[in-house]
Amino acid sequence: MSSQFVSVIFYRQANQQENIDFYLYQDQTSGELQHLHVNLLSEDLDPSLNFALARGLYQKIYSFEVDNQEDYIKLLNLDEHFPKFSAILKQVNNCDTLIDGQDFKIYFLNYSEFFLDKITLYKADLNSEKVHSQTKQFFQDYSIVEYAKQNLNAQKTLFCILNPDGHRLWVNVSEGLYQGHFQGENQKLISFNLIEMKPFKEKLFKKIKGFIAAGGHYHAYDTSLPWLPFSYDIFNKIIYPEQYNEQKLISFCGGHQTIAHGCGGKSSKMPNNNCYQLRDEINFNDVEINDQLNLSKVLPQPFYSIKSHGDYVYELAREAKLICSSDKVEIEGMSIRNRALTFQFHPEFNRMILFKLIDEYKEFPGIQEIAQKAIKSFSQETYVSNKYLNSHLKKFLVS
């Protein structure tokens, strides 16, 4: 079991300068008011803190207990559950990170119309006997009121997820994964849908500190998809700007392939069909990404991560350095001009997301053998490796 947890406080900001109204939910047994507190079930289940919180809210609202892998797959891959879960996840993705601790995160979730008919909340008088003693202590220990005032009035550092995936069972998922891993205090992640090809407003583009390019259900070299050349232009603008700026970019899997193919490199179909390596060992080269980061020296060795892909990069993007490889794919990771870090593997995934994918492709030949291999291959060391890498990617985005 993990020691990580998330807590959420609902609020309504009555006055932009001073008044913040806190809302708590009522325990049906005791009648006491308390904040929502959710532990990660395990490293194998909740793939990010956003998912843990969305799961906790889903259980409160719909009385659907999720405490094992089978139920989680039902939640994430069935039309009976996923649209409702996705709607909750969207609300979580839009909320503020009040406190970003080493083993916990406290969210500040706006008490919007979305929740009014789904979960009964009460405006909290924090001195009232109705408020649970642990919640009172929680507010006091973390100086919640003061943090809230500072957070809501602070200028947020802006980050953007470049998302090309319109698959119905992945709506809001990438945002939940990345925000749960990478959003810190006084930071805000927004999402930009590449498939829609809406012009990126220049004023907004310049405000963004870092970008995260998500993967998806597409081929990075299929230029018959009109949004792909559109994406190439955005990636080039970030990595090779006409005027110097300090924007950073990280990407995984399909994003890695698209950046390579659109920025002077090449990607193609894997020679031996789909590559479900599941847990795979990644070898990092001794490469200085910048004067503060050399992944070969800060990550656990050996390094393990999840892999699931049908395409790969076989030629580096221009000005790119090869930072890691594996037995199956030479270009597992690139560093480009101290502006972009791209990876073929999935440090943002855990076993739960891998099994979500396997369940989606349950008609795929040999999928049962793949599933059994996944059960045997995934381990604690994979979770630890990815946790370390994500922490360094988080720092890279703000560097």
Last residue of one domain, picked from the residues 120, 153, 186: 153
Last residue of one domain, picked from the residues 97, 126, 153: 153
| pLDDT tens digits, 266-275 | 999 988 765 6
Same domain, 10 and 66: yes
E strand map for 14-171: 20-26, 33-34, 36-39, 96-100, 104-110, 121-123, 157-163
Last residue of one domain, picked from the residues 153, 182, 206: 153
Average pLDDT, the chain: 90
Same domain, 80 and 196: no
**What range does the domain containing 12 cover?**
5-153
Same domain, 149 and 161: no
The structural domain count of the chain equals 2
Same domain, 107 and 178: no
| pLDDT tens digits, 238-249 | 999 988 888 999
Same domain, 138 and 164: no
Q: What is the dihedral of CA 286, 291, 292, 294, to 10 degrees?
A: -10
User: Mean pLDDT, to the nearest integer, of 206-232?
Assistant: 93
Same domain, 268 and 371: yes
194, 385, 215, 241: which is closest to 302 by C-alpha?
A: 385
Pick the range with the lowest mean pLDDT from 18-32, 43-57, 209-223, 282-296: 18-32
344, 276, 361, 279: which is closest to 73 by C-alpha?
A: 361
Same domain, 146 and 161: no
Same domain, 149 and 195: no
| pLDDT tens digits, 12-31 | 876 655 678 899 999 888 99
Confidence of residue 329 (pLDDT cuts 50, 70, 90): very high
Backbone torsions φ then ψ of 20, nearest 5 degrees: -125, 120
Same domain, 196 and 292: yes
Same domain, 323 and 375: yes
Which residue stretches of 189-253 are H helix? Answer: 202-207, 227-239
Task: Output the domain CATH number for residue 195.
Answer: 3.40.50.880
Asked whether the predicted pLDDT for residue 158 surpasses 90, the reply is yes
pTM exceeds 0.85 for this model? yes
Task: Output the domain CATH number for residue 124.
Answer: 3.90.79
Which residue stretches of 94-247 are H helix? Answer: 113-116, 133-141, 144-153, 173-182, 202-207, 227-239
Same domain, 298 and 168: yes
| Per-residue pLDDT, 81 | 97
Same domain, 109 and 177: no
| Per-residue pLDDT, 151 | 87
**Do 384 and 77 contact (CB within 8 A), yes or no?**
no
